[in-house]
Chain A
Amino acid sequence: MDALKEYWIFESALLVCFFVGIDLGGKMKENLFKASLGSKGDAPLKSYDIGKLLLVGFFGGLVSMGIIGTINGRWLKLDRKVLIGLGALALILLGLKLTLLAMMGMGMLGWDYRTYRMVSKIGYVGLFIAYYFAFKKPFSLFVYAGGIPTPLLKPGLLWIFIGGLIEFLMVYAVSVAVDYDIL
């Protein structure tokens, strides 16, 4: 009798799994062929030509590259964690740049201004490379699936100006702080 009971419970469990599985499979199939487009935040993919972002980074600086990189990343629907990581990298590099400037001002670093600018430019290119490798595969898929990159000239110039201005103000603030012995 116990054996029968066990068998019945086992068979019932199997039947439940079977029907639940079928239902789950049905639900999965139903989700695959259910409309996904049309909600408010559901825009199609967009992107700038990621190779040309180098110009924005090189001439605009870390703030320009960070902002335009984040915009492009959201357009390509990159993973949020990746975008946050890249944003954090931009902030870290900015912090490092300002720290090196302060150290130069206080005489702790024997660099001249030219060396400092060269190292800054390497930092800008480094940030661009990080964004480039994050964008490379999604951008390739976007292009091969028929997407056309958005022109970069006007927004690029705009972000070079705005980002460059913000960074200049930060550098100026640090220089003044060093001069007035606040730092």
Chain B
Amino acid sequence: MKDRLQAFLPVIGVVGLFAIWSLVAWRAWVDPVLLPSPAKAFDAFWKGMKDGALGFDFVKTVYRTLASTAIAAVIAIPLGIVLGASERAYRSLEFVIDFFRSTPASAMFPLFLVLFGVGDETKISVAAFGAALVILFNVAYGVMNARKTRLLAARVMGASRVRVLFDVMLLESLPQTFVGLRNGVSLALVIIVVAEMFIGSQDGIGHSVFEAQQMFEMPRMYAAIFAAGALGYGLNLVFLLIERRFVHWSGK
């Protein structure tokens, strides 16, 4: 009984939110033009996703976010392992990494616009740049923080340096690598959505939100915001499930 109650706990917040939203919309405490009822917003969401522009925009944003995360991972994971395996190499690049990690990626838009023009390349590359630094940082720390005892154990059993790297360090860094991937994909999504709003975009969730707001189609705007939220949550969940499947020892 208690366990069943536990499972329902997360639902309470969702129900509460919709109850308050419905109440506010019903009593018209906020201008109905600015805050339509949940039903209207969901109607817009459903129609938009089913056969409207929102579904197309959603797919575009998913594609861009995944593409940028994939590019970031392909570059950052091997580099992170190399840097993490040699603490000296990491220390000599630490400041540069930390500096650009702290630089808002949105500040890089103009530069990347000059480099890549106004197409998809710019959005994807800025997002990949931001995500790569996050992933790189986490992978390098994952490798550096590999348990010393485990490395010693492998060496005592006659593992070569290369074997230690692949058999121990790489696996030791996996939990931290997934932290990096989750943060990286979230950041990539933020950057992609912002880029879709402003850089002469024709599609994407960001474009959808912005366009709906410009045309004062509020239900459609809420629908697009909700799509962005669902996408962010979904991506995080997917990475979490992959991690549970492949990094079964994480946190144990």
Asked if A pairs with B, the answer is no
Which residue numbers of A lie inside 8 Å of B, CB to CB?
none
Which residue numbers of B lie inside 8 Å of A, CB to CB?
none
